[in-house]
């Protein structure tokens, strides 16, 4: 008859806890992973905020351009202008009354303001750059009556076209973002 010992000495290595070194390495790796996730989430949040900002700035610029175009195409003539303002004479089509329409850029407030009669409204805000060029219709038949840059400052009524250029910006999370590109357009006065 053969006798075998069925009980064996217990292996204590499978019952041991983590060592301090293993815990330190695991905690360090966990902190690195959490820091990377936090950085990615902050970067993503700023990117989404910048995209939202670009969308808002573009929408505001489109609305301003639409209002400028609609108003200026219907004016009778440009009566006066300075480096920061344009003053037009216009006729109300329903009452046939003559009104003054003006657009003024305030360099301190960074706004473009529209005044029609006694009504005033801000068309653009946070506008860091605003410029316009005036054009007159060239009466020469050799070049098809194209618009040419207005040189004479004493006859604003000759103006037939105006080129507008502006840049708007906003501040998000302490950083200033500008619209991606310069907004510009040419508006032609339809009335002669």
Long-range pairs of 115-124 with CB within 8 A, sequence gap ≥ 24: 116/71, 116/90, 123/63, 123/64, 123/67, 123/68, 124/60, 124/61, 124/64, 124/166, 124/168
Name the residue with tokens 């009504």: 119
Q: Greatest CA separation found in the chain?
A: 130
pLDDT in tens, 140-166: 545 555 666 766 667 788 888 888 888
pLDDT in tens, 84-117: 999 999 988 888 889 999 999 999 999 999 999 8
For the whole model, what pTM was predicted?
Answer: 0.69
Give the pLDDT confidence score for residue 17 in this predicted structure: 72
């Amino acid at each position: 008859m053969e006798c075998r010992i069925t009980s064996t000495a217990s292996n204590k290595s499978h019952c041991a806890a983590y060592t301090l070194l293993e815990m330190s390495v695991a905690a360090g790796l966990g902190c690195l992973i959490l820091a990377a996730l936090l950085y990615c989430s902050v970067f993503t949040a700023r990117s989404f905020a910048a995209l939202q900002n670009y969308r808002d700035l573009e929408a505001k610029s489109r609305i301003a351009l639409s209002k400028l175009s609609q108003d200026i195409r219907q004016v009778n003539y440009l009566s006066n202008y300075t480096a920061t303002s344009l003053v037009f004479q216009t006729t109300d089509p329903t009452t046939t009354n003559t009104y003054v329409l003006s657009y003024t850029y305030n360099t301190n407030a960074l706004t473009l303001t529209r005044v029609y009669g006694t009504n005033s409204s801000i068309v653009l805000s946070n506008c860091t750059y605003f410029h316009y060029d005036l054009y007159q219709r060239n009466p020469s038949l050799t070049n098809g009556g194209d618009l040419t840059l207005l040189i004479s400052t004493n006859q604003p009524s000759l103006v037939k076209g105006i080129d507008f250029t502006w840049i708007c910006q906003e501040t998000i999370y302490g950083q200033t973002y500008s619209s991606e590109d310069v907004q510009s357009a040419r508006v032609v006065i339809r009335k002669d």
